[in-house]
Structure 1
Amino acid sequence: MSIYDLMSIGNNAMMNAKLGINVTSNNMANADVKGYSRTTVNYVSRSPLVRNSLQFGTGAEAESLRRHYNYFVEQQYLASHGQQQYWNAKAETLYSVESLFKQGDKNYGLSVALDKYFSSWNSLTQDADSSAYRMELKEYAKTLSTMLHTMSKSLKQELQATDKAIELGVADANALMKDIAELNRSVLGQPENLVLQDERDRKIRKLGELLPIKSLHQSDGSFTVITESGQTLVDGIEAFELAVKGPEAQAELTTGSAFKGEVKFEGQGSKEYKIEMVKGGALGTAEFKVSIDGGKTWLTDENGVERTFKAGDADNKVKIEGVNIWFNNSSPATDLSKADAFNIVPKSGLYWKKTTAHLVNITPRGGYGNESGRLSGGRLGGLFAARDSGIASYEERMEAFTKELIWQTNYQHSQGAGLAHYKETQSTNSVVDSSVALNKSNLAYANKITKGTISFQAYTAQGTPDGARIEVSVTPGMSLDDLVTAINNAPTSATAKLTASIEGGKLKIKSKVADGSFEFAGDTSGALAALGLNTFFSGSSSSDIDLDARIKNDPKRINAAVVNGLGLVDHGDNKNALALHALVKKGVTLDTIHTNTSRTFSQHLSTLTALVGADMDGASRNKVYCDTVSKDLEKRQQSEAGVNMDEELTNLTKYQKSFEAASKLITTANEMFDTILQLK
């Protein structure tokens, strides 16, 4: 080995030490940079020299830079962090909703307002003519209405905020997918650029916060990113997209089905509806069943018997929750086949753009990780779960609660009489088409109308009964026009005393006797309550419930009494007040797909409050657990990729000594060279 070889070894050793110092310095400088992965130098021995059958080492050289990153741990982290973000998003979203249902203050809360409302009916039974008790009932009813308004408004605001968060999250996810695809392109062009690789892994982590993903390291250095349910988000340099869209309906007809029409719907709901025909045939004959979990189970009645519905046209809609479903047929009409299926999504959903024209629904149907092919985690999954299984379902339950409370109160109230007779009155609710059957009209309680009788009692100017009761038969198929005709064509003795007409789609009833009056003496059909005549509340939902304007203006209109067998309203009569107070103990079934159990109003409210609390508690507990697991996996990753300052200082000292040793070697070789020159 020559002196030149020694100097070459020393020079390479100095360059290697200098490179090691540069890499170590860079690690130390980036110690606090999030997503930075520490780097080390891989050294290899250079090819030896062979002299006289002897091999002489020629030193070492830097082969490559190694980026420390554990992709196996990272896959575990992505899965765990996706769960943590799911529960975190759900807990954050439900936190403000839970406060609406908290009943901790004994003097405040919806349940307290409900109790006060029913107890004020009980107070009225003590003295049915008392103006003080009537004013108390009026105020407590107003308080209850106001609290229901507030609840409805707050839930709607939370839904809007959640929808906005979903839209922003989808936009962020699409941007990240494009960025990752571009970084793949850059890495393919600069495979040794570790900064690009760090940036790509950071972007993948950000995407993993929004969606449950897996990243697959390809042999060419690029990454393929897919959701846990199999949808490709990034494939090399190609980025896919997500979209928020809906509501919509799609058909899944059986092979050979002759049906050429389509399913239609109106209204919104928190669930997706899968419709499957159990009996084929023409509209009006064919029957279907409904599932809200993709066909795993089917809706049943209170006895657990599977429910079936007639497939009707626009005049024969099927109402499920707040969604009306019907079919438009082709011309000529075609029959539905058994097992024909339709999917209805009465809300905005999340879709994966498989191709420009082919969108795949990946909206979660239920809780975490329980739906094949659907989003099962990530912040977006948590937001959808909080919206659909949380806020929207709470709102639907509250709407069903309020609607039933209004109906039960109004139905019973319409059976009674107040302290002052009517000279004329008009219904609160109107119909769009007075020729349409009442049970198929736009009335909120159209389906409550049954076969029965409406009774009236007329009075003279002096307030004494004027003849016998007027009885009008009602059938569900009657239109408002038919009802007016029936009232006006009542027996001769009544014809000259009452008249009915329609003004603006509303039923108006008026005494025809000078200074005469009349009273409602009972209604077994429910038509009065459905139309809003002689009722206590107006409206049909939490957003529009209010005291009937007649009671607002005059509490004497509160129907604590009934018309007795002689046609009189006795002073102090509390029969109807007792019946209205008895509603506090009455078991009712709410018109909602979320439950078919008969409970009292207080029990329904308590059950909903407990559900909200349980959902929030479950989300919080899962959040804490997943957060602990994620932090542990992050520590494992950092033990590999993170910068340890003590270790880097040790490396810096090592490279410094290596540099000094290499310098000494070169100095020694130079001295040897000088000595040889002096020999000459």
Structure 2
Amino acid sequence: MSIFSIGLSGLRAAQSGLYTTSGNISNVNTPGYNRELLQLGESRSSGVSVLGSQRQFNQFVATRLNAASGSLASLETYHNQVRQIDNLLSDERSGLAPVMQNFFSALGQMNSHPADPAARAGVLGTASTLVSQYKAFDSYLEDIERSVNNEISFEVNSINALTEQIATLNREILVARTGTGEAPNSLLNQRDQLVHELSQKLDVRVHEQKTGSYTISLSNGSPLVAGDSFYTLEAKADENDPTRTAVFYNDVSGHQRQLADSVFNRGSLGGLLEFRSKSLDTIRNQVGQMVVVFADAFNQQHQQGVDLNQQPGGQMFATGKPVAYSHARNSGNAVATVEIVNSSALSAADYDVRLTDTGYLVTRVDNGKEVTAAFDAATNTLSFNGVDVTLNGNAEVGDSFRIRPLAHQTQSFELLLSDGSEIAAAQSTASGDNRNGLAMLNLQNELLVEGSGTFSQAYGTMISTLGNQINVVQANLAAQQGLTEQLHMLQQAESGVNLDEEAANLIRYQQYYMANAKVIETATTILDTILQLR
């Protein structure tokens, strides 16, 4: 190789270095960009060969960062959602504790003057406010649940868009490698950035094939992306409870199956599902439990008294009805009906009833624990935790039913009395008798909620449970933020663009270019000198 060729190879190498450095500088703020380093090798004859630009990408660090980012997104989503409930419960104006206290205070004042119309009107007024406040709180929780359902649908649509783009990039990367034999760095960066965004939405497993394509699957092994193929998720009505939105998977054969919430351990979608199951459902059931116990206790006591019109006391409050849903894939035609038979034995939970080879199995939805239930074959009724579930029709083995005794109780919470004279504060027709009023007032001190707590204690437990959940989430969130930041710094140390370093490289390649130009200039001078000698 001549000195001219050697100089030209150096010029090409210097020019490639300038291109690589310029590309790094221009993409310093581009999300997902991995800096490139020029790879040079000694030519087989002489001079230098440009081997290409190597992408500074560490798959191990990227995988750890994706997992940490997914966990962080899950915790952030959970925290943002649960904070809405905490803000409402802690508000003195909209909280439930003050209205309950006001009601019992008004009841105490009426007992001091049982025949006073103003005192009786005060009881009805505070009772009406109590009912309205509970219904408003439940309506707020229902709005949150509706919003969560909508956000689940949005996240699923975003996931489908990302998996489709990744599958497309898999195909384009394979074509580019087949055509040139070189790694298409720009396409690789785009794909890894999409994988990072996908990891922030749900828990995925990423495997690189020998061809360079990514295979991406859910935590249960179901593929989302395989080569240039992708498989979609769908958000639609839960098969156990049509009022809720669940996530379904469309498999290779075109069949659709519902995915358990446990499949989504990370990501914003996982955070939404975890918030709904661990916080929102729990709070709604606890509020419904308090309403049922409160209304039932007052109705029973009120019916033992006599009002100012010398009439027996009637029911003071009304509540909603328990609901039961048949699983969408049930083989039999059995329908479940639910009745609350003992409000003090109610637990703040939903249940799944499933027919097995050995009989009916009852489990709590919130923790999956089996519940002891008594079955009456004569009436085809299951009894457990203060409820009776009657199955009408023929159930097949494998059929299941979602039982929700409390979730919709507060929606129909009503005050049935319209006039203060209807309050049955007496136990006889004697003037000034307030014995039944005192008995109703004393209900605030009785252990009526699950047989172990008063109304105020039950409300305190609800606040405490939510507070503990928030504290745990906040602690985990702070720790996860620190871990994610460390991994991000580690990833940037290897793959990020450092402008100071690139500026130095710019000067270095510029001098490299000028030096090789000088080689060519020197070669030209030598050649001219030789020609002049002839």
Bin of the TM-score, shorter chain as denominator length: 0.7 to 0.9
**Correspondence for 2:75 among 84, 87, 108:** 87
Q: Distance in 1 between matches of 2:171 and 2:117?
A: 81
Structure 1 residues 457-472: aligned runs within 5 Å: none
Q: What per-residue deviation string (whole Å, max 9, x for no partner) do you get for residues 379-431 of structure 1? A: 10000011121112211111121111111111111111110145999999899
Shift of 1:354: 2.6
Q: Which amino acid aligns with 2:231?
A: F
Which residue in 1 is equivalent to 2:65? 77
Report the secondary structure of 2:247's partner residue: strand
Corresponding position: 1:547 with 2:401: no
**Correspondence for 2:441 among 578, 581, 588:** 581
Shift of 1:225: 1.3
Which residue in 1 is equivalent to 2:172? 186
**Correspondence for 1:198 among 186, 189, 195:** 189
Summarize the Cα distance change of 1:72–1:350 in structure 2 as closer, same or farther, 3 Å threshold: same
Shift of 1:589: 3.4
Shift of 1:242: 1.4
Q: Distance in 2 between matches of 1:414 and 1:11?
A: 104
Which residue in 1 is equivalent to 2:132? 146
Q: Distance in 1 between matches of 2:475 and 2:313?
A: 60
Q: Does the aligned pair in 2 maintain the 1:101–1:612 contact within 8 Å?
A: no
**Correspondence for 1:657 among 497, 511, 519:** 511
Structure 1 residues 154-553: aligned runs within 5 Å: 154-191=140-177, 192-248=183-239, 268=241, 347-364=244-261, 371=262, 374-421=263-310, 447=341, 541-548=409-416, 551-552=417-418
Q: Does the aligned pair in 1 maintain the 2:174–2:213 contact within 8 Å?
A: yes
Q: Which amino acid aligns with 2:445?
A: K
- The structure whose Rg is larger is 1
Which residue in 1 is equivalent to 2:431? 571
Q: Distance in 1 between matches of 2:319 and 2:50?
A: 87
Q: What per-residue deviation string (whole Å, max 9, x for no partner) do you get for residues 144-199 of structure 1? A: 11110110110000000111001000010011011100010001011332111111
Q: Distance in 2 between matches of 1:177 and 1:616?
A: 33
Q: Does the aligned pair in 1 maintain the 2:302–2:314 contact within 8 Å?
A: no
Percent identity reads 26
Unmatched 5+ residue regions in structure 2? 178-182, 322-335, 344-407
Report the secondary structure of 1:649's partner residue: helix
Q: Distance in 1 between matches of 2:10 and 2:414?
A: 88
Corresponding position: 1:40 with 2:37: yes
Question: What's the RMSD between the two structures over aligned residues?
Answer: 2.6
Report the secondary structure of 2:2's partner residue: helix
**Correspondence for 2:502 among 620, 627, 648:** 648
Report the secondary structure of 1:121's partner residue: helix
Which residue in 2 is equivalent to 1:328? none
Q: Does the aligned pair in 2 maintain the 1:94–1:390 contact within 8 Å?
A: yes
Report the secondary structure of 1:589's partner residue: coil
Summarize the Cα distance change of 1:425–1:97 in structure 2 as closer, same or farther, 3 Å threshold: closer
Q: Does the aligned pair in 1 maintain the 2:302–2:436 contact within 8 Å?
A: yes
TM-score calculated relative to the size of structure 1: 0.63
Q: What per-residue deviation string (whole Å, max 9, x for no partner) do you get for residues 197-241 of structure 1? A: 111111111101101123222221111112334332111111111
Summarize the Cα distance change of 1:238–1:445 in structure 2 as closer, same or farther, 3 Å threshold: closer
Summarize the Cα distance change of 1:407–1:577 in structure 2 as closer, same or farther, 3 Å threshold: same
Q: Distance in 2 between matches of 1:633 and 1:181?
A: 27
Shift of 1:113: 1.1
Q: Which amino acid aligns with 1:666?
A: I
Summarize the Cα distance change of 1:658–1:122 in structure 2 as closer, same or farther, 3 Å threshold: same
Q: Does the aligned pair in 2 maintain the 1:247–1:347 contact within 8 Å?
A: yes
Summarize the Cα distance change of 1:428–1:629 in structure 2 as closer, same or farther, 3 Å threshold: closer
Report the secondary structure of 2:265's partner residue: coil
Shift of 1:127: 2.0
Q: Does the aligned pair in 2 maintain the 1:429–1:443 contact within 8 Å?
A: no
Q: Which amino acid aligns with 2:474?
A: S
Q: Does the aligned pair in 1 maintain the 2:75–2:477 contact within 8 Å?
A: yes
Q: Which amino acid aligns with 1:562?
A: Q
Summarize the Cα distance change of 1:647–1:241 in structure 2 as closer, same or farther, 3 Å threshold: same
Summarize the Cα distance change of 1:356–1:588 in structure 2 as closer, same or farther, 3 Å threshold: farther
Report the secondary structure of 1:34's partner residue: coil
**Correspondence for 1:618 among 472, 492, 495:** 472
TM-score calculated relative to the size of structure 2: 0.80
Q: Does the aligned pair in 2 maintain the 1:173–1:210 contact within 8 Å?
A: yes
Q: Distance in 2 between matches of 1:397 and 1:677?
A: 101
Report the secondary structure of 1:543's partner residue: helix
Which residue in 1 is equivalent to 2:533? 679
Report the secondary structure of 1:419's partner residue: coil
Q: Distance in 1 between matches of 2:248 and 2:437?
A: 54
Q: Distance in 2 between matches of 1:140 and 1:76?
A: 56
Q: Distance in 2 between matches of 1:190 and 1:217?
A: 17
Shift of 1:586: 1.1
Which residue in 1 is equivalent to 2:403? none
Shift of 1:118: 1.7
**Correspondence for 1:96 among 84, 102, 125:** 84
Which residue in 2 is equivalent to 1:5? 2
Q: Does the aligned pair in 1 maintain the 2:174–2:212 contact within 8 Å?
A: yes
Q: Distance in 2 between matches of 1:215 and 1:423?
A: 71
Q: Does the aligned pair in 1 maintain the 2:24–2:35 contact within 8 Å?
A: yes
Q: Which amino acid aligns with 1:112?
A: P
- Structure (1 or 2) with the greater helix fraction: 2
Which residue in 2 is equivalent to 1:598? 452
Summarize the Cα distance change of 1:396–1:224 in structure 2 as closer, same or farther, 3 Å threshold: same
Which residue in 2 is equivalent to 1:28? 25
Q: Does the aligned pair in 1 maintain the 2:305–2:313 contact within 8 Å?
A: no
Report the secondary structure of 2:53's partner residue: strand
Summarize the Cα distance change of 1:664–1:646 in structure 2 as closer, same or farther, 3 Å threshold: same
Shift of 1:123: 2.1
Summarize the Cα distance change of 1:348–1:430 in structure 2 as closer, same or farther, 3 Å threshold: closer
Q: Does the aligned pair in 1 maintain the 2:152–2:245 contact within 8 Å?
A: no
Report the secondary structure of 1:603's partner residue: helix
Q: Which amino acid aligns with 1:18?
A: Q
Summarize the Cα distance change of 1:406–1:425 in structure 2 as closer, same or farther, 3 Å threshold: closer
Q: What per-residue deviation string (whole Å, max 9, x for no partner) do you get for residues 447-492 of structure 1? A: 369xxxxxxxxxxxxxxxxxxxxxxxxxxxxxxxxxxxxxxxxxxx
Which residue in 2 is equivalent to 1:557? 422
Q: Does the aligned pair in 1 maintain the 2:313–2:422 contact within 8 Å?
A: no
Report the secondary structure of 2:410's partner residue: coil
Shift of 1:36: 1.1
Summarize the Cα distance change of 1:122–1:443 in structure 2 as closer, same or farther, 3 Å threshold: farther
Q: Does the aligned pair in 2 maintain the 1:77–1:630 contact within 8 Å?
A: yes
Q: What per-residue deviation string (whole Å, max 9, x for no partner) do you get for residues 554-608 of structure 1? A: 2011110123xxxxx1111111101101110111235xxxxxx621111111101
Which residue in 1 is equivalent to 2:330? none
Q: Distance in 2 between matches of 1:613 and 1:653?
A: 58
Summarize the Cα distance change of 1:671–1:248 in structure 2 as closer, same or farther, 3 Å threshold: same
Summarize the Cα distance change of 1:664–1:430 in structure 2 as closer, same or farther, 3 Å threshold: closer
Summarize the Cα distance change of 1:448–1:656 in structure 2 as closer, same or farther, 3 Å threshold: closer
Aligned length: 451
Q: Distance in 2 between matches of 1:357 and 1:237?
A: 17
Q: Distance in 2 between matches of 1:180 and 1:655?
A: 36
Q: Does the aligned pair in 2 maintain the 1:413–1:576 contact within 8 Å?
A: yes
Q: Distance in 1 between matches of 2:200 and 2:40?
A: 37
Q: What per-residue deviation string (whole Å, max 9, x for no partner) do you get for residues 509-564 of structure 1? A: xxxxxxxxxxxxxxxxxxxxxxxxxxxxxxx932222321xx32x2011110123x
Summarize the Cα distance change of 1:140–1:444 in structure 2 as closer, same or farther, 3 Å threshold: farther
